[in-house]
């Protein structure tokens, strides 16, 4: 007897196979039962006929509760109408465990209840689809970068200094010293890039922000590629290439998940084209014009950072991710290199409906300029000595970007709240299960 997973079923037409999984749903009448079995790779419709199975086994099948675990044997039959393109004609059922009454039912549950039961909620169709999408995003990011010659060089989580203030940092006692949980691996990734040329770090990131929005988690996963000998175009090309690769992979390999999430693939296809690149000044002019024309409302004034309505408006106008470059230095980080007009050589990628998903930049590579910036920002120079060293021993133009996994999943899935885009969300109000 061949053990197969639901996702492989359609390549076993006519064969007798065994599936192992859980009851997702059970309905039927008289001598016929439709058992939806989920095994993590997909959901299969199993057709149970009393005449095939015999009275005793049929009664066992009828008594299966939601989320009961079982093994089912039967013959695969291709059927376009079935989810996944195949169903199973059951000839045997072996029950592993009859589940107790399952707390998550078809009725509407509030988010608090669902989050309290996150360990079970993950078994719902939509949540499984989101986790498979998240996997594909992580895999696509890595595969793309590996293919471009990047090396995974992880930055540390424990950092000794609260470089930019402690207000949004989680702190821990580190054998008598204070340590802080990293908010970004970028500075270390710069050091790694000077050694290995093209690198990325990819790990959890921690922010003790008291933000209670649908876009904030206290713990989220961030990818940060960094490359030596790179200018702003290189950074933009890399981010665009990686995002388009990811969109392609999702379209090619997660069609069922998009369907489960009620997402039209055409939406993603529309994003898979050259991302417009426009300098901040041009973006600002457009926004002012749209404001004047009454197309949207905003407090935006030239020189400001973009707010949520401004990002929405830009995303809506272009219908695909937009790269806004050459920012007013005042709204960007101290380490960004500036051009001759004093603009920060940064790039934000604004995605339709999702807002900012990527923040990137060319880094200041001149020792004296960087030192001056650190002093201007009243940062502790001593803590940055190793970072300044990178500008003393073979400094080169370099840059990179950061992208959050959960915001990317939220964007691609159309699921607005990032708390559904990570297996076990941590927010200002939630630390369990």
Q: Other CB atoms closer than 10 Å to residue 418's CB: what's the count?
A: 24
- Residues belonging to the chain: 433
Helices 405-413 and 232-253 cross at an angle (nearest 10°) of: 50
Our CB check for its own copies shows the closer of 191 and 320 to be: 191
**What residue has token string 């058992």?**
35
Applying the rule CB under 8 A, the residues between 382 and 401 that interact with its own copies are: 386-387, 389-390, 392-397
Q: Specify which residues 343 forms β-bridges with.
A: 328
357 sits near its own copies (criterion: CB under 8 A): no
Stretch that binds its own copies, among 156-164, 288-296, 308-316, 317-325 (CB under 8 A): 156-164
User: Judged by CB under 8 A, does residue 369 bind its own copies?
Assistant: no
In the list 54, 160, 270, 380, the residue contacting its own copies (rule: CB under 8 A) is 160
What would the DSSP string read from start to end of 38-81?
Answer: E-SS-EEEEEEEHHHH-HHHHHHHHTPPTT-EEEEEEEEEE-TT
**325 touches 302 (CB < 8 A):** no
- Least separation in angstroms between residue 384's CB and its own copies is 10
# of chain residues touching its own copies (CB under 8 A): 93
Retrieve residue 241's tokens: 């290439």
Give me the half-sphere count of Cα atoms (radius 13 Å) on the Cβ side of residue 49.
Answer: 7
In angstroms, what is the minimal distance from the CB of 382 to its own copies? 11
- For residue 408, the surrounding DSSP H or E stretch is helix 405-413
Neighbours of 433 (CB within 10 A): 10
Single out the residue of 68, 73, 263, 408 in contact with its own copies (rule: CB under 8 A). Answer: 68
CB of 169 to its own copies, least distance (A): 10
- Rounded CA-CA distance 220/381 in Å is 29
CB 145, min distance to its own copies, A:
10
Q: Per rule CB under 8 A, is residue 344 in the interface with its own copies?
A: no
For the CB of residue 353, give the shortest distance to its own copies in the complex, in Å: 24
The least distance separating its own copies from the CB of residue 407, rounded to whole angstroms, comes to 15
Q: Does 193 bind its own copies (CB under 8 A)?
A: yes
409 near its own copies (CB under 8 A): no
* Least gap, CB of 6 to its own copies (angstroms): 9
Whole-number Å distance between alpha carbons of 39 and 89: 17
Positions 33 through 52 that interact with its own copies (CB under 8 A):
39-41
Q: Does 173 bind its own copies (CB under 8 A)?
A: yes
**Minimum separation from the CB atom of position 331 to its own copies (A):** 28
Q: Least separation, in Å, of the C-beta of 418 and its own copies?
A: 14
Distance CA 64, CA 93 (A): 11
By CB under 8 A, the residues from 75 to 134 that bind its own copies are: 96-97, 99-100, 102, 117, 119-120, 122-123, 127-128, 131-132, 134
- CA 432 to CA 118: how far, in whole Å? 9
Rule CB under 8 A: say whether 179 interacts with its own copies. yes
Site mask for its own copies (CB under 8 A), range 216-245, x = bound: --xx-x------xx----------------
Q: Which is nearer to its own copies, 35 or 179 (CB)?
A: 179
The angle subtended at Cα 213 by Cα 212 and Cα 214, nearest 5°, is 135
Contact 401, 360 (CB under 8 A): yes
Residues 414-433 that bind its own copies (CB under 8 A): 422-424, 426, 428-429, 431-433
Judged by beta carbon, residue 111 or residue 342, the one nearer its own copies is 111
Residue 86 makes CB contacts below 8 A (sequence gap 6+) with 9, 10, 12, 13, 44, 76, 77, 78, 79
Instruction: Give, as ranges, the residues between 194 and 213 that touch its own copies (CB under 8 A).
Output: 194-199, 203-204, 206, 208, 210
């Amino acid at each position: 007897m061949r053990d197969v997973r639901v996702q492989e079923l359609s390549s076993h037409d006519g064969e007798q196979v065994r599936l192992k999984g859980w009851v997702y749903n059970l309905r039927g009448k008289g001598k016929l039962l439709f058992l939806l079995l989920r095994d993590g790779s997909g959901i299969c419709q199993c057709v149970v006929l009393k005449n095939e199975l015999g009275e005793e086994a049929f009664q066992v099948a009828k008594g299966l509760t939601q989320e009961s675990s079982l093994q089912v044997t039967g013959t695969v039959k291709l059927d376009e109408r079935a989810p996944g393109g195949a169903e199973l004609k059951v000839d045997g059922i072996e029950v592993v465990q009859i589940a107790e009454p399952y707390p998550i039912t078809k009725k509407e549950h509030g988010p608090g209840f669902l989050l309290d039961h996150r360990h079970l909620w993950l078994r719902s169709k939509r949540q499984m689809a989101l986790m498979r999408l998240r996997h594909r995003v992580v895999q696509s990011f890595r595969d793309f970068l590996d293919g471009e010659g990047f090396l995974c060089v992880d930055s540390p989580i424990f950092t000794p200094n609260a470089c930019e203030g402690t207000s949004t940092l989680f702190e821990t006692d580190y054998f008598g010293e204070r340590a802080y949980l990293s908010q970004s691996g970028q500075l270390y990734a710069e050091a790694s890039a000077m050694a290995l040329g093209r690198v990325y770090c990819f790990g959890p990131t921690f922010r003790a922000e008291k933000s209670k929005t649908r876009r904030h988690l206290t713990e989220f996963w961030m990818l940060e590629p960094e490359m030596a000998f790179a200018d702003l175009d290189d950074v933009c090309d890399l981010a665009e290439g990686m995002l388009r690769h990811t969109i392609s992979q999702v379209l090619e390999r997660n069609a069922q998940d998009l369907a489960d999430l009620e997402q039209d693939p055409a939406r993603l296809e529309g994003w898979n084209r050259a991302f417009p690149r426009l300098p901040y000044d041009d973006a600002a002019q457009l926004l002012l014009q749209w404001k004047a024309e009454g197309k949207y409302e905003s407090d935006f004034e030239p020189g400001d950072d973009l707010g949520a309505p401004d990002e929405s408006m830009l995303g809506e106008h272009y219908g695909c991710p937009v790269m806004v470059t050459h920012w007013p230095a005042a709204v960007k980080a101290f380490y960004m290199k500036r051009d001759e007009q004093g603009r920060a050589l940064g790039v934000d990628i604004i995605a339709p409906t999702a807002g900012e998903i990527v923040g990137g930049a060319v880094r200041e590579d001149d020792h004296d300029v960087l030192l001056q910036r650190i002093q201007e920002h009243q940062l502790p120079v001593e803590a940055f000595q190793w970072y300044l060293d990178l500008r003393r021993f073979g400094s080169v133009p370099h840059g990179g970007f950061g992208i959050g996994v959960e915001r990317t999943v939220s964007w691609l899935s159309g699921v607005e709240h990032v708390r559904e885009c990570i297996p076990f969300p941590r927010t200002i109000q939630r630390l369990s299960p």
